[in-house]
Homo-oligomer: A and B are copies of this chain.
Amino acid sequence: MARKPADQTVHVDEILYAAAIIFHRKGYQGATMADIAAEVNLTAGSLYHYFPSKEDLLMAVLDAGLSLITGKVRDVIEGDDPPADKLRAIITIHILSEIDNIHIATAVIFESRALLEVPGVREQYIRQRDTLERLYRDVIEAGIAAGDFRAVDVGIFVKTLFGALNWVNVWYREGGRLSGAEIAGEIAETFLHALTPAGGA
């Protein structure tokens, strides 16, 4: 036994996804290379053919997760709908994307800390995270400027919103009382309401 037939060969993306699953289940430090390998029917050593180290594997997962959400949010934000519509749309797509990629999304939230000490990686991660944050900030600032939103502290508001969005990964269960879309709608409504100017509808 050595190289497997072509149709059983594993692809990098599958390993990345398997890693996300295991990181989600056991946390980065609790996950073993053997766990991850088993998820794709390989042995631990084989993973090194694809990733130079466990740390690199985590980096790849985090990068994939942040890029994914950022990409989706950015797609939705194009155009010139009013800020309220944009905000509702990005909150919705953000939540739906998370739920749809819950292993990767949860890894981003919980396991990024493990890399925050690795210099170089840290900056890269923070940059990516700030990029996403800025998309939200811009929409909210535009809404305030237009008088559509109440004048909140945008920095705090965005952190608050992100906390709420991230936390969805923690409590969401498939087949629960509400669908992902319903949850997204409810949460979007909460934050839209929070921005409604005094006296507004």
> Which residues of A line the B interface, CB within 8 A?
27, 29-30, 110, 113-114, 150, 152-153, 155-157, 159-168, 170-171, 177-178, 183, 186-187, 189-191, 193-196, 198-199, 201
Contact = CB atoms under 8 A, between A and B. Distances in A.
A150 B177 CA distance: 21
A130 to B, nearest CB: 12
A159 B178 contact: no
A41 to B, nearest CB: 24
- This protein's copies in its complex: 2
Max chain B Cβ within 10 angstroms of own Cβ: one of A29, A30, A150, A156: A156
Minimum-distance CB pairs A-B, first 10: A163-B167, A29-B29, A194-B194, A163-B164, A160-B164, A193-B194, A156-B186, A190-B194, A163-B163, A164-B164
Given A29-B29, A29-B30, A167-B167, A187 B160 contact: yes
Contacts of A168: 159, 163
Given A168-B163, A199-B201, A157 B29 contact: no
A190 B113 contact: no
A155 B171 CA distance: 11
Given A29-B29, A164-B163, A190 B110 contact: no
A186 B170 CA distance: 24
